[in-house]
Chains A and B, each alone.
Chain A
Amino acid sequence: MILETKGLSKRFGQQYALKNVNLKILPGEIHGLIGENGAGKSTLIKILTGVYSRDEGQVLWEGQAVELPNPHASRRLGINVIHQNRHLVPQFNAIENVYLGLDYEKKAKVAIDWKKMRSEVEKIMEELSIEVPLNVPAMYLTPPQKTLVEIIRGMMTDCKLFILDEPTASLTDKETEILFDLIMRLKQKGTSVLYVTHRMEEIFKLTDRITVLKNGELVSTVNTKETDLAGLVALMTDNWESKKRVTDHKMGADLLRVTGLASADGKVKDASFAAREGEILGIFGLSGSGRTELLEAIYGLRKSARGEVMLNGQPYHRRTPRESLKRGMVLICEDRRGQAIVESLSIRKNTVLSRLDHYAKAGVMDSKQEISDTQDQIRALDIKTKGINQVVRELSGGNQQKVVFAKALLTEPKVFLCDEPTQGVDIRTREEIHNLLREKAEQGNAVVFVSSDLQETLDVVDNIVILTEGRTTRVLKNENLTSEQVLAHCYAGTQAKESSR
């Protein structure tokens, strides 16, 4: 046993992020770690690398109980981690980056011995039979080269456990293969690897054993050869069936139709779907699948490269937020404080923000109308406030979100794009928002609903569009649908792509 945790727990406030986790990693094995968002994967990694301190339990390293008070301590034991976002100094070359945090080789204890450092790095490269240009600043290296530099850095000290956190997130298929090759070689050298990912095909390709986390608890550790996709998904998620929906309300014409949409930055690759009058359409995908980016591209907040948007039966090409609002489409942003509200302004000024021109006569604001409309919204949405002039910063998360909705409703939209509309709000407000959206749909509007909470999505929506790595793969009718089925489609999407190569 290279590493073992016994009864490991971590709390944030009252909430357990990890609970009684008993993880065992064998020498020379590739150990997969999977789980849904919030299952505790990154918390576990952070404890093992000395970033977080544990609240309960023990960490055993080669059978000895150890303390991991800081990243340095864990590195000294032989634990190295490569994060999803690589930690390299862009201006430094590979050698300088490899020696970050290590003592530089010195001549006569003063001058840095570059020659010695270079030969040390070359030695490691030879051992792993990899090749990285050493004289080039890291910013000019390709993503896999950067990963290699980090791996070299890890191997400089006596590394016995390598933790790789979503290492392929920014790699192309070919680059991924190079990385896999290297991981296999590390394994042959006897180094253990803890491999964290949500890409199932990688899990099956690489790992010897797989540990599944769910809600902070270790569900099971299984041998990769003895399991399959369905088995893993079943372990990862509580399986519940969606409440059988009353879908007797009639759906009308397509209000929003998206065809082959791709964003300029490539986060959205090929999205097509339609949302109808009276429909709440869910878009569900794993993290990084491009949900937020898709909504932003439709709304005109993010540049599109290809594809068509039809709004209200009209083609809508040059999309900007301003034009979207004018045409009756509103976006409730995921990032409330960053994108949806102006915290320093009052409720009133936020509420009317999208309709300033409407309230202005020859440029001068009609305060009376503005005040009465704001008061109407406060009453209708039951916003808890000291008054319309209270600064939004002072409101609770739920009430802030209601202000965002008040602002949206004043524009009288036909199409609602809602990105995590209940994030960070209390249970009651959450319920109120669900009811509001249902009500708006029943009045003949279309609601596009995005939530990373699958259960919430299944409770709220009529149909679900599956989004996988920027592509819409499937539309599911939300009747007797189970969470497993939905997740299976999400993961299947990545596999289908894999096999089609």
Chain B
Amino acid sequence: MIKRVDYRNLTKSYGTILAGIVVTVVFSILRPDAFATLANLINITRQISLLVVIAIGATLVMSIEEFDLSVGAMASLGGVLAAKMAVAGVPIFLCFLVPPIVAFGIGFVNGWIVTKFRVLSFIVTLAMSTIIGGFTFWFTGGATVFQNIPRSFRYVGSTTVFGIPLLTIIMFALVVLFWFIMKHTSFGRKLYAIGGNEVAAEVSGINVRKYKILTFSLCASLAAFTGILMSSRLGSAHPTGGDGLFLQSYAAVFLGRTVFKEGVPNIWGTFVGAAILGILANGLTIMQVPTFLRDLLTGFIIILAVIVQKVGRDRD
């Protein structure tokens, strides 16, 4: 007996991954020499590594049904702070450690305000983003930090292990770590419970406020860490260098929600989302498609993915 394939169900469950595969296949056929090579694959993983790390934080915040719009500004601050410290001769491990701790504190404030006064995280973090941006600008005088950055600071962003960029390895390590946390620890369970029904979580004995604040803090730390990786890779830090990652990271999370049928923010989904965005950017660059067209296409794909999944789910 031939089992009929339920196409609708298939597109609903795996539509986003399918789209990713289609995009990959198309690029591979069009430019087998430049796109479909191992070197380029490794290149893509490095290109998306920063996006993935910052998007992990966004995934956490979205899992509790909140927003943190300050991740971009936080990344900029993290990068600038680390670079300045490196220039000042602070030991490298401190350059990587201190900014995430500072960010943790700022994230704590975000979460504290949101939970204490029950205001929209959207607004609070938007304002916080402006504050951080202003501080970073004052801190740098608006100038890019690039002179006298020690080679050791650039090591993490540029070295490879057996031909694989360290950035790629860090990315995968964090993806696996946070996948495990979200999937297999009580912490992850609590976040999803809060996101699913905050009151029920509270009634069930979960300290909603504590976990919300913790989530905002973690998200901010990851954002600052992303900024450090960025300046380590570039060998310079621009006061608005991380801003561009903000929208992209939420695009990755939203795409990621559509990967599995539960429709909740999840780490592997976010990775797939970021990968699709990365593959698109990489392939279109190789095809020498102008940037504006790339942006148009990326935007359309995100809208499409979200609609397809929504339509699929509403029919249930």
Contact = CB atoms under 8 A, between A and B. Distances in A.
B196 interface: yes
B304 interface: no
Interface stretch (B76-84, B99-107, B179-187): B179-187
Interface residues of A, dominant DSSP: helix
Interface string B176-201: 00000000111101101100110111
Nearest to B197: A342
B262 to A, nearest CB: 7
Contacts of B185: 360, 363-365
**Which of B184, B203, B262 has the largest number of chain A CB atoms within 10 A?**
B203
Interface stretch (A86-94, A262-270, A348-356): A348-356
7 contacts: A322-B206, A338-B200, A339-B200, A340-B203, A342-B192, A353-B206, A365-B186
A219 interface: no
Interface in A362-386: 363-365, 367
Contact of B264 (A324, A339, A344, A367): A344
Given A339-B200, A345-B192, A363 B205 contact: no
A349 B189 contact: yes
B202 interface: yes
Interface string A119-146: 0000000000000000000000000000
Contacts of B187: 363
A376 B264 CA distance: 28
Interface of A: 299, 301, 320-322, 324-326, 331, 333, 338-345, 349, 353-354, 356-357, 359-360, 363-365, 367, 407, 411
B262 A356 contact: no
Interface in B189-229: 189-190, 192-193, 196-197, 199-207
B204 A365 contact: no
B204 A357 contact: no
A324 B207 CA distance: 12
A344 B202 CA distance: 16
A321 B202 contact: yes
Nearest to A333: B203
Interface residues of B, dominant DSSP: helix
Given A301-B203, A333-B203, A354-B204, A344 B196 contact: yes
A299 B206 CA distance: 14
**Which of B189, B192, B201, B207 has the largest number of chain A CB atoms within 10 A?**
B189
A320 B11 CA distance: 45
A90 B94 CA distance: 55
Contacts of A339: 197, 199-200, 203
B203 A331 contact: yes
Contact of A349 (B192, B205, B206): B192
B203 A357 contact: no
Contact of B189 (A301, A324, A340, A365): A365
Contacts of A342: 192-193, 196-197, 200-201
Contact of B205 (A321, A345, A360): A321
Contacts of A341: 197, 200
A359 B196 contact: no
A274 to B, nearest CB: 24
Given A338-B199, A343-B196, A353 B204 contact: yes
A360 B201 CA distance: 17
B262 A365 contact: no
A363 B186 contact: yes
A324 B200 CA distance: 15
A315 to B, nearest CB: 20
Nearest to B192: A345
A331 B200 CA distance: 11
Given A339-B200, A343-B196, A326 B186 contact: no
Nearest to A336: B200
Interface string B237-262: 00000000000000000000000001
Contact of B193 (A325, A349, A357): A349
A349 B185 CA distance: 12
A183 to B, nearest CB: 39
Interface of B: 184-187, 189-190, 192-193, 196-197, 199-207, 262, 264
Given A325-B205, A338-B199, A345 B193 contact: yes
Contacts of B207: 320, 322
Nearest to B188: A365
A76 to B, nearest CB: 40
A322 B190 CA distance: 13
A301 B202 CA distance: 8
B86 to A, nearest CB: 34
A407 B192 contact: no
Contact of A345 (B196, B203, B206): B196
A27 B224 CA distance: 75
Contacts of B205: 321-322, 324-326, 354, 411
B258 to A, nearest CB: 15
B203 A356 contact: no
A356 B197 contact: no
A450 to B, nearest CB: 15
B200 A340 contact: yes
A336 to B, nearest CB: 9
Nearest to A342: B196
Contact of B184 (A321, A343, A349, A364): A364
A400 B262 CA distance: 19
B265 to A, nearest CB: 12
Given A321-B202, A331-B203, A354-B205, 16 more contacts: A301-B202, A321-B204, A322-B206, A326-B205, A333-B203, A339-B197, A339-B200, A339-B203, A341-B200, A342-B193, A342-B196, A353-B193, A356-B206, A360-B186, A364-B185, A364-B186
Contacts of A325: 204-205
A151 B120 CA distance: 37
Contacts of A301: 202-203
A355 to B, nearest CB: 8
Nearest to B181: A363
B197 A357 contact: no
Contact of A343 (B186, B197, B201, B203): B197
Nearest to B189: A356
Contacts of A344: 196-197, 262, 264
Contacts of B264: 344
A300 B203 CA distance: 9
A344 B199 CA distance: 14
Nearest to A331: B203
B186 A356 contact: yes
A299 B205 CA distance: 10
A-B pairs with lowest CB-CB distance, top 7 = A342-B196, A360-B186, A356-B186, A325-B205, A322-B205, A353-B204, A342-B197
A288 to B, nearest CB: 21
A402 B191 CA distance: 24
Contacts of B197: 338-339, 341-344
Nearest to A324: B205
Contacts of B200: 338-342, 353
Nearest to B261: A391
Nearest to A355: B205
A285 to B, nearest CB: 22
Contacts of A363: 185-187
A299 B207 CA distance: 14
Nearest to B262: A344
A357 B186 contact: yes
